[in-house]
A and B are shown apart, each in its own frame.
Chain A
């Protein structure tokens, strides 16, 4: 089962995800990991090279931002190809195209609609 890595500089995102997806976590449907910066996310990826990972990353972060992280991941981690979904507060076309160009698999805008996110995640996980 694929692991879902959530990258966001807001630490409370962990608690929120754990509660939003508490049933899925309980059932063992989903397995979440959290990173609080781009750099931390890359570390995590390096230590979990063999695992299939679905990455859910914020774009606006201090230090390495989401788009840079996306670029790194798409360059450095080809096998197995990670699914990267970008989340941003700015629902603008510029970020969207940039993310798509860098190979993002999906693009979500804040505030995140957890119902549709859950469906999307389930869908992606099944593909894996």
Chain B
């Protein structure tokens, strides 16, 4: 027993295994079949060698040697065939002479080896107790075979090298490189052990070509595993597709049990295939009844697409999927099973939700915009209303002060009118007298009377004008302000409104009595103001002053003399109007409110609450002046208006 017998046995097993493995990968592929040929011949070679190396009986050895010929004599043909197929030269095999050229010599060599033998002329037991071959170097067959072997291997290698060089695929290039190196190295080794060494009568190792052949096959096997060589087929592509596709995939048999899943399914559902295989498909789906029905109906419908369902995660969560069911039938039409492809629609649903959310948000924003626009319009309307109301209020404030003035004006007009009436009546009488004196010829008296009449007419004219100016003033006051500034005598203005106010109040309240005191700076220059506005300010202040003294009068304090002072003065280049009263004063807590619009201490209906606020605006905004108030509660109040002269 020597080492070569178990090595041959091992090589035999390996070649059988590799042959089956490659055939299983793809039994219909021509290149796989050619490889199977290589594997079978190598297996036979090694199988025979196994006995050859173990047996020392010459006749037995000859028998097993003849069996090995089935291996090595056909092997070159299979190798060449294999390389041609790898180089995609399938079309060559449509021609019969190619087949003949490759396989006919192999058949001839096999037959020759069976009946004549040409590689070995004798056997002997060499060192290591192993059978060695004596080469039949005198036979021409020996050289014909050697040439055939070299041509097959070298031409195959060259064709494949050319194919690898021309290919753009890196995978093919590296495959061809590995093959070339492996084949050349091992081919040389085999030549060496099986042909060169025996011829040179060197007895180090026996003919172990079959064992070396195994390394060659291992190289192919390595390339297949690494590069999936010989698997570029629909089936292998389908397998690859199934394992790498980013869709869930189940194959469900007619009982509803899962018999196949892909990697993506395992990852998506976070379970391994062991858990899934042989499980009822409907168990994996939340809507299990619906799925049962679908699987049952698939026999009739054959295909159901895009059913949105929820698959159960191992952790209990639900995965939204869109499932398509396709029935797979045999040639007779019987259902073999159902292919279920599921698309993870988590993202789609999230996007849909997002879209929905955005649409809602947009709608909400749209609505808010509409509301805003509506509110803005409402506000504008309200503002418009407010402006109108303000105008009306200001007008009514003016009218209210006008009302207060009317009685005063009536009184003021009455005096000049009385004079006009009286002087004209008197003048009439005087003219009668003048006529009398004329008839008497008393010319001196006539001249005297004429002078009187002239004087009266001047008075009539004077008082007529006085009444006229009062009316004009009144009109000026009632008119909507022209806003025109004009040079105005502030003293006259104050005096006029002081009197008008006083008489106005007297007209309203007959019991009203107050001392009016004025102290006007006669050197006051005229100042450029909107006189009707400043008049309104003075009117308002004097009105308030009279109101304050009247209120205090009601307290019946002994020795109380209601008094209102109006004075003017020039202070630091500014004209100062002071309106002082010894009335009830202003309580501190309301002092900061008195200039606010609508603030009034008067009973409802008596004051608009706008007088002081308007006065404040007129002085400060209208004339760039200042407005101050000094008061002692229960004793006195002084309003001070300062107007710039420029």
Contact = CB atoms under 8 A, between A and B. Distances in A.
Contacts of B507: 90
B510 A92 contact: yes
A17 B610 CA distance: 46
B415 A10 contact: yes
Contacts of A19: 423, 426, 430, 452, 456
A31 interface: no
Contact of B510 (A10, A95, A110): A95
B411 A114 contact: no
Interface string B515-527: 1111000000000
Contacts of A123: none
Nearest to B463: A12
A65 B506 contact: no
B414 interface: yes
Contacts of A112: 418
A63 interface: yes
Given A16-B419, A110-B418, A114-B422, A63 B506 contact: no
Contacts of A12: 419, 459, 462-463
A15 to B, nearest CB: 6
B513 interface: yes
A94 B423 contact: no
A80 interface: no
Contact of A16 (B414, B423, B517): B423
A71 to B, nearest CB: 12
B138 interface: no
A112 B417 CA distance: 12
A110 B503 CA distance: 15
A24 to B, nearest CB: 13
Nearest to A67: B513
B455 interface: yes
B503 A60 contact: yes
B427 to A, nearest CB: 8
Interface string A107-118: 000111010000
Interface residues of B, number: 29
Contact of B426 (A16, A62, A93): A16
A12 B415 CA distance: 10
A25 interface: no
Interface in B363-406: none
Contacts of A89: 411, 414-415
B511 interface: yes
Interface string B278-298: 000000000000000000000
Interface string B415-457: 1011101110110001000000000000000000000100110
A28 to B, nearest CB: 18
Nearest to A64: B515
Contacts of A110: 414-415, 418
A120 interface: no
A89 B516 CA distance: 18
B510 A94 contact: yes
A124 interface: no
B422 A62 contact: no
A20 interface: yes
Interface of B: 411, 414-415, 417-419, 421-423, 425-426, 430, 452, 455-456, 459, 462-463, 499, 503, 506-507, 510-511, 513, 515-518
Given A15-B456, A19-B456, A62-B516, 18 more contacts: A12-B459, A16-B423, A19-B423, A19-B430, A19-B452, A20-B422, A20-B426, A60-B411, A60-B503, A62-B499, A62-B518, A63-B516, A89-B411, A89-B415, A90-B510, A92-B510, A111-B417, A111-B422
